[in-house]
Structure 1
């Protein structure tokens, strides 16, 4: 088991082999690690590895590069920092090339100082170079190495004739999760669901949003998810109508709802859960009406997940339900048939229904979107996605005052199985009865 990944080395060697198998003959792929980012003067933000690099290596240090060579011989080569006792005293232990080869299962591991000469030599022996075009640092390396090989044409060196984007290939691999990845994501969801339960039980009028955020972060960390997967949204009252609200600095008001969008990151894998509940522990009738409408739509969408279905189809289902529900509540007016055709609910449901989930919160993978932005990719087993309908009615909206200031989103993480789906978000209560019971102290953490 690799120290930083909770996954065995065999998982990463298999991924590299799958990548090599999919690469064209006589090609070379370059995938670079992330850089440390300065926060203030001589301190850095917590290091977050490049996800494509991590997916293929499990290696969690900066200043590293992976080369996958599809020629004779076929091989994987990891370049990393040398051991340096003086630097390690100040900044922490390094793995070093010798141990990297043993622990990470690559064919070769060399000093990062050897990368330039080694890569130029490889470039002179392949006809295609592959790298992620959205990685400017890797593109700069590839361009420099191509120039170096081209400059040696008079002595018989021949530069590759093709430079190709390999991002889509890696993204397709990442989109379909292995059984080990799924197990990690289940655990990340359980930890994150318990954090939401803890937040519900800690919430009370006059507490501050950041105090509830602290409850979440503590629950993540003590259970092994040391970092949040993204900046937590803890939005009381009308703040819930700001989709990416992360100030988390206002007092909670009796009678308001609290929307929390937060998930822990476990061994690089993200959970992404949203719950909305009353600060006082008891929903008002208008809050209950909006909440139940969103919950019914979410449950219907989740129940429809199976191989072959699409996010576009689920979105149509949800929009029909939300439009009809808002019409019945008097928030939308007019001809119901026309309102449904126009997807009139989008005035209040102002984002997409869901997204892929994995090593990134908004994970990679082609949605097969058309010109109307409909996501038409058929689901297949091993995909994990969020389902997160919402209704947002800010203060000042042109509706009855009782609806104003209500923002509700409910979000679960769902795995596509061979026969249907598995909802991974099993430990975060979401029915009105469950939430009110937990907040009243009647129900216990599950």
Structure 2
């Protein structure tokens, strides 16, 4: 795909997303502001800031990774983008690719936002994205707008799928190279460096989240940061990692035997988890409830643990009594897309899932 074709596809996608949002919101006199967010200073490091990432709701509707931007919507006038002007100093220090001084022709300076709001005083305002300083937001309207937009964002368009595919391809390349990186005596940190390098070699432009490389007892911690600890034969090695392309993420978790082969006990437990994955995947169909996906995985784990003699009883009864959460204390998974946690949350007015369920991420 040429750059011109890609830009046209993106412009069409953004137009469709905004049209779908405005139609679904069905506003009359209310206005909407969507904030990109601001740079976050690293405490005590003077002018150093963390890498800027625009709020997902703003990025979805603008595809801009620029701080302090605001996308405004007035149902009688449509959409207006307010952007922080690019300065000569920024161009000198940061060399923003393809960006010129000032603001694009199809946008206005963020300095004009105050006048835009003054002209609409007294109208209810819903605020999405990052908070916007000095703006009074209607919390009920904001929640209604967010619920609608979240539902729209769960269905991915062609531009999103293309970026997710590229992120998956970069992640896949890293994991294909991963077994050759495993060797007793190597450190978790050394393996992390090599895995992430593979991601970037194959097209990633960011990490989807902080890479987890955990060996031995470290692997029992969900979000363990790699250390200088050296791998030892007989241990299990957990890796949870993923790459990102233009804001869209991939997320893969795998467990490997450091020695190259599982022990009989490790193999039995590994097969239980594989069966749970098969059961959960088979349940993922249009219209399926997320709680049913989790339940399918949990019952498969329960059946396997009963067969191994680690639990006694009927899996369904054990689940309802919370016995499974000793071995499966988290939700079965979460949605991935624009970021590694995308368009989640509980559907409004949905009843709690019932006994035996942990907090379900989505």
**TM-score if structure 2 supplies the norm length?**
0.87
Q: Relative to structure 2, which stretch is displaced further, 214-223 or 86-95?
A: 86-95
Once residues 230 and 6 of structure 1 are traced to their aligned partners in structure 2, the CA distance between those partners, rounded to angstroms, is 30
Structure 2: gaps spanning 5 or more residues:
none
Deviations 1:274-322 (A, max 9, x none): 0111112111111111001100110121122211212211222222211
Once residues 302 and 180 of structure 1 are traced to their aligned partners in structure 2, the CA distance between those partners, rounded to angstroms, is 25
Contact 1:311 1:354 in 2 (8 A): no
1:66 counterpart SS class: strand
> Do residues 204 (structure 1) and 207 (structure 2) align?
no
Instruction: Please show how residues 281-296 of structure 1 align to structure 2 within 5 Å.
Output: 281-296=260-275
Distance 1:122 1:4, change over 3 A: farther
> Do residues 22 (structure 1) and 3 (structure 2) align?
no
Where relative contact order (Cα < 8 A, 6+ residues apart) is larger, the structure is: 1
> Do residues 81 (structure 1) and 62 (structure 2) align?
no
1:119 counterpart SS class: helix
Instruction: Please show how residues 248-397 of structure 1 align to structure 2 within 5 Å.
Output: 248-334=227-313, 338-339=317-318, 341-368=320-347, 370-372=351-353
> Do residues 12 (structure 1) and 5 (structure 2) align?
no
Once residues 299 and 2 of structure 1 are traced to their aligned partners in structure 2, the CA distance between those partners, rounded to angstroms, is 42
Distance 1:255 1:161, change over 3 A: closer
Once residues 98 and 375 of structure 1 are traced to their aligned partners in structure 2, the CA distance between those partners, rounded to angstroms, is 53
Structure 1: gaps spanning 5 or more residues:
102-108, 147-159, 377-384, 387-446
Partner of 1:69: 74
**Alpha-carbon shift at residue 179 of structure 1 (Å):** 2.8
1:217 to 181, 196, 203: 196
**Alpha-carbon shift at residue 342 of structure 1 (Å):** 3.0
Instruction: Please show how residues 148-227 of structure 1 align to structure 2 within 5 Å.
Output: 164-165=142-143, 166-227=145-206
Contact 1:213 1:248 in 2 (8 A): no
- Aligned residue pairs, count: 349
Partner of 1:235: 214
> Do residues 57 (structure 1) and 62 (structure 2) align?
yes
Once residues 375 and 348 of structure 1 are traced to their aligned partners in structure 2, the CA distance between those partners, rounded to angstroms, is 12
> Do residues 142 (structure 1) and 140 (structure 2) align?
no
Deviations 1:85-120 (A, max 9, x none): 23421233355555352xxxxxxx111222211222
Contact 2:169 2:202 in 1 (8 A): no
Contact 1:213 1:234 in 2 (8 A): yes
> Do residues 244 (structure 1) and 246 (structure 2) align?
no
Distance 1:5 1:328, change over 3 A: farther
Once residues 130 and 2 of structure 1 are traced to their aligned partners in structure 2, the CA distance between those partners, rounded to angstroms, is 35
Contact 1:217 1:227 in 2 (8 A): no
**TM-score if structure 1 supplies the norm length?**
0.72
In proportion to residue count, which structure has more strand?
1
Distance 1:240 1:129, change over 3 A: same
Deviations 1:215-259 (A, max 9, x none): 221112122212110111111111111111124432111111111
> Do residues 92 (structure 1) and 88 (structure 2) align?
no
Q: Relative to structure 2, which stretch is displaced further, 174-183 or 202-211?
A: 174-183
Contact 1:205 1:252 in 2 (8 A): yes
Contact 2:283 2:296 in 1 (8 A): no
**Alpha-carbon shift at residue 22 of structure 1 (Å):** 2.2
Contact 2:215 2:236 in 1 (8 A): yes
2:135 counterpart SS class: helix
1:130 counterpart SS class: strand
1:212 counterpart SS class: helix
1:141 counterpart SS class: coil
**Alpha-carbon shift at residue 335 of structure 1 (Å):** 6.1
Deviations 1:40-90 (A, max 9, x none): 32222222111111000011111211111111xx22111112242234212
Once residues 228 and 318 of structure 1 are traced to their aligned partners in structure 2, the CA distance between those partners, rounded to angstroms, is 28
1:309 counterpart SS class: coil
Greater radius of gyration (CA): 1
> Do residues 46 (structure 1) and 51 (structure 2) align?
yes
